[in-house]
Structure 1
Amino acid sequence: MHDTATPTIDYARYDRIRPIRWTGEVLELLDQRRLPFEVDYLACTTSDEVATAIHALAVRGAPAIGIAAAWGTVLAARGVDAADGATALATIEPALHRLNAARPTAVNLAWALARMRRALEAAGSDWREVLEREAHAIETEDLAANRRMGELGASLIAPGSGVLTHCNTGSLATAGFGTALGVIRAGVAQGRIGKVFADETRPWMQGSRLTVWELQQDGIDATLIADAAASHLIKDGQVDWVVVGADRICANGDVANKIGTYQLAISARHHGKKFMVVAPSSTVDMDTASGDLIEIEERDPSELLGVSGSRTVADGIHAWNPVFDVTPAALIDAIVTEKGIVEQPDEDSMRAMFG
């Protein structure tokens, strides 16, 4: 039995950042490429501008990508003259395909677009209002789910524990509060987490640019480490839990997440430490049997050849730049969603939770 009788979390203190803002006319996306030194919002007035922002990593994190795509659908419908939702859908379908192609690995993107399609197909003459309400619901439900996951995941962590997180899974990657970082926020607020470590997460440096900045906004002290220092840190006994997010969770419990996740799971298991995956149920893909079937996105190799626009590698050197890896379910101690906790995930336990 997990301890759920926990102190109330002060969300005014631990949930301050919003990366996505809908004004009623424009979708404003916090440009995460400019953080931590510039807090600047991109103003998107078309669905193609949203797709470009997703592909360029101006907006990133599986839940945030899905939310942005939902609002992108609303923008795609601007100017469409249709008597009902089904007619409007036929008109904007090419724009939805372009949104879906922006990031193929994150299942939340396709999930959000499918949900928007269903809402539109069933809508009558009020289809514009229906579409906007659905996008708003996707966003507000994600925030509620994150707060629920934070409490559930924190309940697994013994007081005073050290945790290590990878990439950025916080407010910047979601509607707010975060997935894995939401667990860390809840754990700190409840006194369960005594020390937080974040790795850099090369080559886009989401850990060093985003995660430690986010935690700093909340007054949470975090120690940054090089990616290559993680196994040494875990061996040194300073980490009790590795807590990460997910871009896709398969029917057997395999998890696709930011490249570098798999090696953390191996190291945690080797040193007898725990490994937790935190993601909304929209990230669970019961139609994909295992991680072997996941398309692993590869980005421009040039991202590895320099830092902040300055080349650091000799001319003529080739690079390989996969964005994600797959962690087998056998290395995962717990998958936490808003629906509950799946411990020691496998095909049977995943089916029992998610159908």
Structure 2
Amino acid sequence: MSEHAHDRIRAVVWNDDALELLDQRLLPAVERRLRLGTAAGVAQAIRDMVVRGAPAIGIAAAYGVVLAARARFAEAPAGWRARIGADLDLLAAARPTAVNLSWAVARMRATIERAPEGDPCPRLLAEANAILAEDIAANRRMGALGAALIEAGGSVLTHCNAGSLATGGFGTALGVIRTAHAAGRIDAVYAGETRPWLQGARLTAWELVRDGIPVTLLADGAAAYLLCQGRVRWVIVGADRIAANGDTANKIGTYGLAVLARQHGVGFMVVAPVSTIDMSLADGAGIPIEERPAAEVLDLAGARVAAAGAGAWNPAFDVTPAALIDAIVTERGVVHAPDAAGMAALLAG
């Protein structure tokens, strides 16, 4: 079966002059699209995790800029460029760790600066559409490059959700898994549940089941025992920001999986577009790590599960050192055993 058969999900859609987001807070029980007509609404949806995943956040923000331009130009055609600055800043600040967000806003800002006089919306919409289309094309390219690293036979483990829901479509880590599954290279896919938001249980499992790819869930704490069984060949994850030396920020729990993979001789693959690489940061120590509300850990589905009086520490991401990563797969190529020289060569090529 072609990997294109496993590509029916779109989380971010521009439809009839508004942005529609598949509300990922409600999956898998409810499939509901939230229709947004303002930049402030898009920024709030990003903060509230209606949309999540670094590439998808960037794409949503690009369309948010279109909505901002439409509103500012309608207020008064003269001076709209000056007034839109606050909207761009609001979108860029919605979540701090995913560099794709600031990258997309910066690209739209550059388009604004180049726009001729008159209504800017057609040109900005074309740029947002291009960001979306380029992301899907990049995901297909990464799918092919990453799948080529996987020898036939054996299983893979993934963490969080780096699929169609986290991107424009097809996915990064799940794009590799989709391509490898279609080629008969993977016997089984395991997905960690990914506390506290359960992106693995709610989102990755939903995507794979919907696309007809068998998936087995496991509690996050079961990963070590799974890897010691010798059936898993690769751990495959996405990324929210990659530093110049290859250190990678991804969903909390990723660092622990990298340590476990190295202990058990399992390959560790990061799959992300080059827009995720932040060459301004020498290493992962400079990556800002978002800390989210304690209630996400203390509660489950709105109900308190922790003992009264307990506190919680809730970093949304951790940083995996490049030394624990076997391959970083991008649309421009693969960096094996990544380091600063390898990352620089990738971007220079």
Q: So what's the TM-score if we normalise by structure 2? A: 0.97
Matched to 1:196, the amino acid is V
State the Cα RMSD in Å: 1.6
- CA shift, 1:24, in A, is 3.5
CA distance in 2, matches of 1:272, 1:163: 13
Of the three residues 267, 274, 280, the one matched with 1:281 is: 274
What are structure 2's unaligned runs of at least 5 residues? none
- CA shift, 1:62, in A, is 0.3
Matched position secondary structure for 1:320: coil
Q: 1:237 and 2:230 equivalent?
A: yes
Matched position secondary structure for 2:136: helix
Q: Retained in 2: the 8 A contact 1:333–1:344? A: yes
The residue aligned with 2:103 is: 111
Q: Retained in 1: the 8 A contact 2:249–2:320? A: yes
Q: 1:152 and 2:152 equivalent?
A: no
- CA shift, 1:91, in A, is 1.3
Matched position secondary structure for 1:77: helix
- CA shift, 1:87, in A, is 4.5
Of the three residues 198, 206, 212, the one matched with 1:219 is: 212
Q: 1:31 and 2:19 equivalent?
A: no
Q: 1:19 and 2:11 equivalent?
A: yes
| Aligned pairs (5 A) from 1:122-133 | 122-125=114-117, 127-133=120-126
Q: Retained in 2: the 8 A contact 1:275–1:334? A: yes
Matched position secondary structure for 2:232: coil
- CA shift, 1:25, in A, is 1.3
Identity, in percent, stands at 60
- CA shift, 1:9, in A, is 3.0
Task: Map Cα deviations across residues 23-70 of structure 1 (whole Å, 9 max, x no partner).
Answer: 141100000000001000001010010011100001000000000000
Matched position secondary structure for 1:43: strand
Matched position secondary structure for 1:212: helix
- CA shift, 1:306, in A, is 1.4
Of the three residues 313, 325, 329, the one matched with 1:332 is: 325
The residue aligned with 1:263 is: 256
User: Cα distance 1:24–1:125, how it changes in 2: closer, same or farther (>3 A)?
Assistant: farther
- CA shift, 1:96, in A, is 1.2
User: Cα distance 1:140–1:86, how it changes in 2: closer, same or farther (>3 A)?
Assistant: farther
| Aligned pairs (5 A) from 1:296-307 | 296-307=289-300
The residue aligned with 2:38 is: 46
Matched to 2:28, the amino acid is P
Task: Map Cα deviations across residues 139-187 of structure 1 (whole Å, 9 max, x no partner).
Answer: 0000000001000000000001210000000000001000000000000
Q: So what's the TM-score if we normalise by structure 1? A: 0.95
Task: Map Cα deviations across residues 325-353 of structure 1 (whole Å, 9 max, x no partner).
Answer: 00000000000000000000001011101
Q: Retained in 2: the 8 A contact 1:163–1:195? A: yes
Q: 1:170 and 2:167 equivalent?
A: no
Matched position secondary structure for 1:16: coil
CA distance in 2, matches of 1:79, 1:180: 37
Matched position secondary structure for 1:277: strand
Matched to 2:132, the amino acid is E
